Structure 1
Amino acid sequence: MTEKTALIVGGTSGIGLATARRLNALGTQVHVAGRTRARLDAVAASDPKITVHQADGGDAAQVTELLGALGTVDWLILSLSGGEGMGPIADLDLDALRRAFDAKFWVQLTTLKAALPHLAPDGSITLISAISARMAMPGTAGLAALNGAVESLVRPLAVELAPIRVNAVSPGLVDTPWWDAMPEDARRAYFAHAAGLLPARRVATADDVAEAVVLAATNPNVTGTVLESDGGARLVSLA
């Protein structure tokens, strides 16, 4: 593969970091941006070939400054998210849901918009949503709205920004730090229960989803697509 430049915003853990590692293994010049210095330092220590940058994806000025320093970016991957927005609608804290939109939808859109002048004409933008956008699982209406909003950007932007390609990857249940707030025993029990219901009979790893992200980002014939990497979660009830 001819050396390309990738920027993964929100790439210090989970799917973002797994994607950075896969792209690095392909010979890509990989840059990872995040807000937390300690996480960036950890990536720099564990993966010295990946270049890290401290920047807030929700701050257009910081993104513009970062992209100005990098020059042209071929593959922009937005793996930004938060941990709020789940719960029965009757009890859902709408302020928490607003924060969830700020942490995922608005921050991805802010980064995307600020990055446009710096993307290669044949480059790509890959968003990360979640399968909750197309499931009917009780307690996930807030997450469905959030991830549906992310996915709604894909098709119109794929036409508007062409020939830049725009896609999203929609994970299902993935063993990432997103679940760290759940007690370990409860998380393991839920994962075991869910694995028995999923058609794939397993909970995904971050690297499973990263493989789909790399495909969406790098394949020149994929655009306007939401690529599902959910183990079949959209086909069953995980309640």
Structure 2
Amino acid sequence: MTARRVLIMGGGSGIGAATAALFAARGAEVVITGRDEARLAATAGEKITARRLDAAVDDDVTAFFAGDAEYDDLVLALSGGAGAGPFADLDLAGLRRAFDEKFWLHLGVLQAALPRLRGSVTFITASSARAALAGTAGLAAVNGALEAMVGPLATELAPLRVNAVSPGVVATPWWDGLPADQREAMFAEHAAKLPVGRIGRPEDVAEAVVFAATNGFTTGQVIAVNGGLSLAS
């Protein structure tokens, strides 16, 4: 990989942190942002610089991109925790928050970042956008909205390349809200249904993100990294 400057918004843990580590291992200069200073400090390293930033605060985002720093690649790994549950009882106020925390947040950051980008943008979405699993209609709406924009953005923003990586169930802090026994039981049940026989690791998704960001002949694509979820019965 040639020397690149990469910005990962939401890079303090999980998929964002794994992506930062992989880019750095392959020679890139990486800047990560997030709200949790402890997680940022744990991820930072020789080639990874951490900047505390709340992407939900417009003034903070504007100030961050007001300088003259440019980036080859932007990875948007911002995620919210709301929006799941059976539709009949779905908390619509929570779903609105989910759009605010992910869909609108991604678009606002991308608009602010555009003058500083020269290579690629990669959204981290989720397989809920297309898996048609019960209890995920809200999540499908949020992630599906982002995925629907990938093609039009790739056309409109060219030569900037725009892609998304769409993970399945991956062992990240996103699931920490579940009690440990329920989480592990859910992971085991899901793994048993997948052709690969396991749930995902952040490093699995990181490999796809680095590919999407650095392959100059790939744009307008949603890359599924889900262990064969669409093949499972």
User: What TM-score results when the alignment is normalised by the length of structure 1?
Assistant: 0.94
Q: 1:63 to 1:186 in 2, by over 3 A?
A: same
Tell me how far 1:201 sits from its aligned partner. 1.1
Where in structure 1 are there 5+ consecutive unaligned residues? none
Please name the residue that 1:11 is paired with.
11
Contact 1:58 1:108 in 2 (8 A): no
Report the Cα distance in structure 2 between the residues aligned to 1:41 and 1:159, rounded to whole angstroms.
37
Are residue 89 (structure 1) and residue 87 (structure 2) matched? yes
Report the Cα distance in structure 2 between the residues aligned to 1:13 and 1:190, rounded to whole angstroms.
21
Residues 61-210 of structure 1: pairs in structure 2 closer than 5 A: 61-69=59-67, 71-120=69-118, 123-210=119-206
Please name the residue that 1:231 is paired with.
227
Report the Cα distance in structure 2 between the residues aligned to 1:65 and 1:74, rounded to whole angstroms.
19
Report the Cα distance in structure 2 between the residues aligned to 1:191 and 1:2, rounded to whole angstroms.
37
Q: Classify the secondary structure of the residue corresponding to 1:174.
A: coil
Contact 1:131 1:234 in 2 (8 A): no
Tell me how far 1:150 sits from its aligned partner. 0.9
Report the Cα distance in structure 1 between the residues aligned to 2:47 and 2:116, rounded to whole angstroms.
22
Q: Classify the secondary structure of the residue corresponding to 1:90.
A: helix
Contact 1:59 1:110 in 2 (8 A): no
Q: How many residues align?
A: 233
Contact 2:28 2:47 in 1 (8 A): no
Report the Cα distance in structure 1 between the residues aligned to 2:93 and 2:230, rounded to whole angstroms.
27
Tell me how far 1:35 sits from its aligned partner. 1.8
Please name the residue that 2:28 is paired with.
28
Report the Cα distance in structure 1 between the residues aligned to 2:67 and 2:207, rounded to whole angstroms.
28
Q: Deviations over 1:49-73 (max 9, x none)?
A: 3101111223343223223336111
Report the Cα distance in structure 1 between the residues aligned to 2:54 and 2:9, rounded to whole angstroms.
9
Report the Cα distance in structure 2 between the residues aligned to 1:152 and 1:138, rounded to whole angstroms.
21
Residues 207-222 of structure 1: pairs in structure 2 closer than 5 A: 207-222=203-218
Report the Cα distance in structure 1 between the residues aligned to 2:170 and 2:89, rounded to whole angstroms.
25
Q: 1:70 to 1:4 in 2, by over 3 A?
A: farther
Q: Write out the 4+ residue segments of structure 1 that deviate beyond 4 Å after TM superposition.
A: none
Tell me how far 1:48 sits from its aligned partner. 4.0
Identity of aligned residues (%): 56
Q: Classify the secondary structure of the residue corresponding to 1:193.
A: helix
Please name the residue that 1:2 is paired with.
2
Report the Cα distance in structure 2 between the residues aligned to 1:56 and 1:219, rounded to whole angstroms.
30
Q: Deviations over 1:74-117 (max 9, x none)?
A: 00000000111100011110111111111111111111110001
Contact 1:58 1:106 in 2 (8 A): no
Report the Cα distance in structure 2 between the residues aligned to 1:88 and 1:235, rounded to whole angstroms.
23
Q: Deviations over 1:179-223 (max 9, x none)?
A: 111111111111111111011111010000110011001110100
Amino acid at match of 2:225: S
Q: Classify the secondary structure of the residue corresponding to 1:87.
A: coil
